Structure 1
Amino acid sequence: MQRRTLLSAAPAALALGTLPRLAAAQEKKSLAFIVNVSADFWTICKRGIEKANREHPEFAMEMIVPGQASAAEQRRIVDELLARRVAGIAISPINPANSTEMLNRVAAQSILFTSDSDAPASNRMVYIGTDNVAAGREAGKQMKRALPQGGKAMLFVGTMDADNARERVQGIREELQGSEIGIVDIRTDESDIARAKRNVEDVLARYADINLLVGLWAYNTPQIYQAVKGAGREGRVKIVGFDEDALTLRGVADGTIESTVVQQPYEFGYQSMIGMVKVLAGDKSFIPASKQIIIPTRIIDKSNVADFQKSMRDLLRGA
């Protein structure tokens, strides 16, 4: 995520609207969206939150980015929000399996939604986001398109503790069954951008016969793109990614990246905030029996990347 694509992170929690601002808006009920890592993906989500706030100015709606991408930092932010009696929290939990107690404390004191990555074992009211198994299958299809004769692939992601990572890998493995594509390994980086790039560089150095690199989180594909170009392996090593980082889209446009599976983070933000407003008004009718509201994905490749780049530039500018 070149510095342009990383939102600057403070040592403590960084809020695109900050925690003190939440406290200052005591006359309004506060709704917070806690993300997992700093990226343009979440800037797009913030635009959806801003739209919801324009429609409901009686609320103070905020996005909060952890200064460190860790479950412990998310827990600290949650504790501060609950102390301020926030009315609702939407969260992309970094380690849902080990965060159930924390999430259930939120659910006991306010509205709890999950987004982007689910925590179905918790008492969350609803998940709003991607069906990540289905998204993984879509990525698997793109991998087969990139390597019709088969080959060796390596996957890269922040952590396999997150449900969205595990589910994407599950979907990829399901789609690749019976194909000639083999997954050599999955490299994790704990949301450390420099380490993410080093992981790719190490794979390129160690595996002369690697054919395909796949980035599963928003910042992984840009690091793959830069490392492949730095090694002069464009064309010889195929790339398939997730999400719509500016470097990822540049790579799709110049042919270095085959395609990327994009989500709709704008809808994550907008629907999460609108949903919490409805619940506070006593309306839960929009929540399905499954407790999941699935936002569909899209495939961006060279055929449609130019139009998509324009739409992303407009969103990032707040147009």
Structure 2
Amino acid sequence: MRITRTRTLAAATAALLTVTASACSKSGGGSSTDTSAAGATASIAASCFASPSPLPSATGDALQGSVTFNDANLTALDNALACALKGHSLSNVNVAMVVNVAADYWNAGKTGFQAGCTALGISSSNCTYFAPPDGTLTEQDTELETLRGKGITGYSISAIDPASAKNAIATDVANGLFVLAIDSPLPGTDAAGLYLGTPNTEAGYQAGLAMKAALNGTGDVAVLVGSLTAANATERIAGFKQALAGTNIKVTVTENDNLSAATAQSDAETILANNPDVKGLYGVYSYDGPALAKAVTTAKKTDVKIVCDDSDPATLSAVQSGVISATVVQMPYYQGYTGAYIMAAMKVLGKTATMQLIQPFLETDGSTLSSGVGVVTQADYSAYTSLESQLGIG
């Protein structure tokens, strides 16, 4: 599996800020609030424009993996933002990445965010990462209040409670802060204009294609998920079913395991015992993969195909052994890395010039900047773990 590039070479990216780029004309370091400076930055943004590359599409019915994510396009965007930032001081940039829980999943996001800040030359004191130890709303709100007191100019957030965050985000935006939604969109808020993360319907669709290939186009499937109402879950299941349309594969059972790995395993064992026509299991939440792997092993039905989401270490181990046919993985590293670039540009160049550069890379909804969707199979295991190692997140 070919890997298009890695972001561990932060020094090379940082050089874009110090070496004259042929596409860039030098600009003064004036504030983006100044009218003449705003016009200049808009002009620079236009000269630094980059075109997106078409993403590869799955072909045929064979089980295929991919660990390229939205790699080439995010690199092109990062380079365009670096080009437009050239000649501007970033000394007033003070950004933060605030996630929803201290989990292994977010270690990659932290690594990416810090690497992005380093590449841009933003000091560590002006580049804050925070993960609530217990994943509580109070912890997240308290940290945001602390960051406001420290003069942050913008922050990315995976909001624990989007509804309760609405008023605070509106106030922050009114006070000149830029708020970037990551991991999960924030519709109905002032951060709704841009979301950097996984397009969940596409992720579900890729899971459906993997299941279609694993089952050779026929058989019943059960879906296990931690919530039947969460947007990311419903979108993934919808995408999964779209990929199966027109086949002889039917989703006959959907179970809510209520965020419990133990419940997921028990539900899967019950499904396998009572539904002999179920030949495939789709686990939507990160803990579902290992739980389903345990269930088919316990039931001695390892011929049942498992497709799941995320890169839990136990999931990857089961992919390596072949118990799990494929897992659809996200790349929070890019949410951190490109997120740092976007927040810096929003402060220095202003929203209009920054969005001018971002717009060509958005999904068809006009607001989603995909951090990519990967599919890891047994054949791709080494390529994926190598990528993690190269990014410093293995």
TM-score (norm 1): 0.78
Structure 1: which 5+ residue stretches go unaligned?
Answer: 1-26
- Answer yes or no: is 1:236 the counterpart of 2:236: no
For 2:214 and 2:292, locate their aligned partners in 1 and report how far apart those are by CA, in whole Å. 16
Q: Higher strand share goes to which structure?
A: 1
**Is the 2:178–2:343 Cα contact (8 Å) retained in structure 1?**
yes
Change over 3 Å in CA distance of 1:38–1:214 after alignment to 2: farther
Residue number in structure 2 paired with 1:272: 339
Deviation at 1:133, TM superposition (A): 1.0
Q: Which of 1 and 2 has greater Rg?
A: 2
For 2:296 and 2:282, locate their aligned partners in 1 and report how far apart those are by CA, in whole Å. 12
- Answer yes or no: is 1:32 the counterpart of 2:96: yes
Point out 4+ residue stretches in structure 1 off by more than 6 angstroms.
none
- Answer yes or no: is 1:307 the counterpart of 2:383: yes
2:109 to 45, 53, 56: 45
Structure 2: which 5+ residue stretches go unaligned?
Answer: 1-90
2:155 to 68, 77, 89: 89
Q: CA-to-partner distance for each residue in 1:123-164, whole Å, 9 max, x for gaps?
A: 11421122211111111111222333221312223x455432
For 1:294 and 1:76, locate their aligned partners in 2 and report how far apart those are by CA, in whole Å. 29
Equivalences, count: 286
Residue number in structure 2 paired with 1:8: none
Matched residue SS, 2:379 = coil
- Answer yes or no: is 1:151 the counterpart of 2:220: yes
Instruction: Identify the structure with bigger relative contact order (alpha carbons < 8 Å, sequence gap 6+).
Output: 2
- Answer yes or no: is 1:287 the counterpart of 2:358: yes
Residue number in structure 1 paired with 2:244: 176
**Is the 1:33–1:89 Cα contact (8 Å) retained in structure 2?**
yes
**Is the 2:269–2:299 Cα contact (8 Å) retained in structure 1?**
no
Matches within 5 A, 1:187-266: 187-190=256-259, 195-205=260-270, 207-208=272-273, 209=275, 210-229=278-297, 231-233=298-300, 235-266=302-333
Matched residue SS, 1:128 = strand
Matched residue SS, 2:336 = helix
Deviation at 1:188, TM superposition (A): 4.3
- Answer yes or no: is 1:62 the counterpart of 2:138: no
TM-score (norm 2): 0.65
Q: Which moved more, 1:283-292 or 1:162-171?
A: 283-292
**Is the 1:89–1:106 Cα contact (8 Å) retained in structure 2?**
no
**Is the 1:78–1:106 Cα contact (8 Å) retained in structure 2?**
no
Deviation at 1:63, TM superposition (A): 2.4
Deviation at 1:95, TM superposition (A): 4.0
For 2:392 and 2:284, locate their aligned partners in 1 and report how far apart those are by CA, in whole Å. 22
Residue number in structure 2 paired with 1:185: 254
Aligned alpha-carbon RMSD (Å)? 2.7
Change over 3 Å in CA distance of 1:280–1:258 after alignment to 2: same
